[in-house]
Structure 1
Amino acid sequence: MKLSEKLQQLKALFGEMERALIAYSGGVDSTLVAKIAYDILGDRALAVTAVSPSLLPEELEDAKIQAATIGISHQIVPTNEMENPNYTSNPVNRCYFCKSELHDTLKPLAVELGYPYVVDGVNADDLHDYRPGIQAAKERGARSPLAEIGVSKLEVRQLSQQLGLPWWDKPAQPCLSSRFPYGEEITVAKLQRVGRAEIYLRKLGWDNLRVRSEGDTARIELAPEKIKDFVLAVDLPAVVGAFQEFGFIYVTLDLEGYRSGKLNQILRVNSEVRSQKAGGRS
């Protein structure tokens, strides 16, 4: 299907909804959904951003600016996933509990304000990754227009650029809890430590990065082609000193570089090991 046809289908989908509340993180996916919803529904569309310690303050500011640029009404609500031990213990399905909290907050709000639909920014590619949060959203009746129409991540960016959205190439920025290996407890202090470290590196001019946290060790992930430049251009002792002020003891650089979905690599490895063991039984 051509991109223009997918855009028309998205517009038609929102036309049928009459009123919609958008789970709006400020990322490129949900922002595209908010843009199309506003173009079709106008004041009958509402973007709602959930705020918790796992959201970078700069991401919230971006969300506010982008919503104002689009023109869509924008509300901010708190969520309390950090009070749920099923979330803070950081199991492999942590995102299920995060999205459960999100949609348990948004659905009653939508009912109260008279919005029959809650929609999110899940795209077609997300359906092929390990995303337990998608199930939590579905269980609570949320819809995913991009996934329903079959819009990929690349097409999200293409449509965003076509519609004149200046952040069409904005790097993906999942919640800060994704910086921790499964099984390591998540605390507000740890989230703040990671957030401050990433903001520090961005202010130095580096983007599309992650600071992974494991115990007292920070592991910096950059785009592979940027690793050599980083080592040569950055005052490494200054970076180490800054990270130690944030609360880390050790600071490392990942030589493989940043790769989306890297956190789930251990899940695939464990699955392969289990399969090999099962296959070796007589």
Structure 2
Amino acid sequence: MVIQKLEQLQSLFQEMKQALIAYSGGIDSTLVAKIAYDVLGDRALAVTAVSPSLLPEDLEDARTQAVEIGIRHQEISTHEMENPNYTSNPVNRCYFCKSELHDTLKPLAVQWKYPYIVDGVNADDLRDYRPGIQAAIERGVRSPLAEVGVSKAEVRELSKLLGLSRWNKPAQPCLSSRFPYGEEITVIKLQRVGRAEVYLRRLGWQNLRVRSEKDTARIELPPDQIKEFVLTIDLSQLVKIFQEFGFVYVTLDLEGYRSGKLNQVLTPEALGQS
């Protein structure tokens, strides 16, 4: 099944002839970049948006993977933090983020003569609340993985099949997703969350989130890792470090991490579906 989907993806890029990939360095856009490069060679270009919501470590990882693939790679700056519609953190915050991204990419694609901009949206993303997808659709962006029906699990399967070294990389959405809707996002808050997550990853905890609500950090880990975390980590040292980052309180979410958890508070009324 995945081989058939891979062939369909390859055919899509053959038809495009040239493509600019909105490339974050996450597993989805990395797979798209890999297939685009394998089909198009130098007629494929990966472009990474750099802003305070992207961890410097994730930017470096994107650079490393681009070199591994062989694809040409450019970096651009986006300025969503200058838009109060974004920083006020409404439920459709991601719409304004992706609007900024694609409004920046589109004139570059025209200037560099790329007829198509593609992203890494996969078929599973279409089943979650992702307002950024609408912003991309409005601007004519294509999502090859979603078009072919590639799920997140199949993204990893294809990535492993194609020899990508980070095929099992944990999902890493932008740092703004760490804040409850309605809490203002600032550069200082983004940096605080980013430093906390990097600290925990360097201790060996890879698949995690540090949610931030005002002065409180809430650590989310896979449920099966919570007991080991409590028994093995130096909790007093952890609190001390997090307080140095700027948090006052440090908590552990006993339910554990799961994708899309931020959206569990959304009601039909909040989504404008009443």
Could you tell me which residue of structure 2 aligns to residue 170 of structure 1? Answer: 169
TM value normalised by structure 2: 0.98
Amino acid at match of 1:248: F
Could you tell me which residue of structure 1 aligns to residue 215 of structure 2? Answer: 216
Could you tell me which residue of structure 2 aligns to residue 155 of structure 1? Answer: 154
Could you tell me which residue of structure 1 aligns to residue 227 of structure 2? Answer: 228
Determine the C-alpha separation between the residues in 2 that align with 1:110 and 1:17.
13
Could you tell me which residue of structure 2 aligns to residue 96 of structure 1? Answer: 95
Could you tell me which residue of structure 2 aligns to residue 279 of structure 1? Answer: none
Deviation at 1:101, TM superposition (A): 0.2
Determine the C-alpha separation between the residues in 2 that align with 1:111 and 1:59.
27
> Where do 4+ consecutive residues of structure 1 move more than 6 Å?
269-272
Amino acid at match of 1:16: E
Could you tell me which residue of structure 2 aligns to residue 87 of structure 1? Answer: 86
* 1:207-252 residue CA offsets vs partner (Å, 9 max, x unmatched): 1000000000000001111100000000000000000000000000
Determine the C-alpha separation between the residues in 1 that align with 2:2 and 2:54.
31
Q: Is the 8 A contact 2:177 2:262 kept in 1?
A: yes
Determine the C-alpha separation between the residues in 1 that align with 2:191 and 2:270.
32
Matches within 5 A, 1:254-265: 254-265=253-264
Q: Is the 8 A contact 2:222 2:257 kept in 1?
A: yes
Matches within 5 A, 1:1-282: 2-268=1-267
* Ranges in structure 2 where 5+ consecutive residues have no aligned partner: none
* Paired residue secondary structure (1:115): coil
* Paired residue secondary structure (1:116): coil
* 1:82-108 residue CA offsets vs partner (Å, 9 max, x unmatched): 000000000000000000000000111
Deviation at 1:166, TM superposition (A): 1.1
Determine the C-alpha separation between the residues in 1 that align with 2:201 and 2:145.
29
Determine the C-alpha separation between the residues in 1 that align with 2:269 and 2:91.
12
- How large is the Cα RMSD of the aligned pairs? 1.3
Amino acid at match of 1:199: V
Determine the C-alpha separation between the residues in 2 that align with 1:206 and 1:156.
23
Determine the C-alpha separation between the residues in 2 that align with 1:21 and 1:131.
22
Determine the C-alpha separation between the residues in 2 that align with 1:101 and 1:119.
15
TM value normalised by structure 1: 0.95
* Paired residue secondary structure (2:266): helix
* 1:153-175 residue CA offsets vs partner (Å, 9 max, x unmatched): 00000000011111110000000
Determine the C-alpha separation between the residues in 2 that align with 1:148 and 1:213.
35
Look at both structures and tell me which one has the larger radius of gyration over its CA atoms. 1
Amino acid at match of 1:186: I
Deviation at 1:271, TM superposition (A): 6.9
* Paired residue secondary structure (1:11): helix
* 1:126-184 residue CA offsets vs partner (Å, 9 max, x unmatched): 00000000000010110000000000000000000011111110000000000000000
Determine the C-alpha separation between the residues in 1 that align with 2:38 and 2:164.
13
Amino-acid identity (%): 78
Determine the C-alpha separation between the residues in 1 that align with 2:267 and 2:46.
35
Deviation at 1:270, TM superposition (A): 6.7
Aligned length: 273
Determine the C-alpha separation between the residues in 2 that align with 1:223 and 1:18.
42
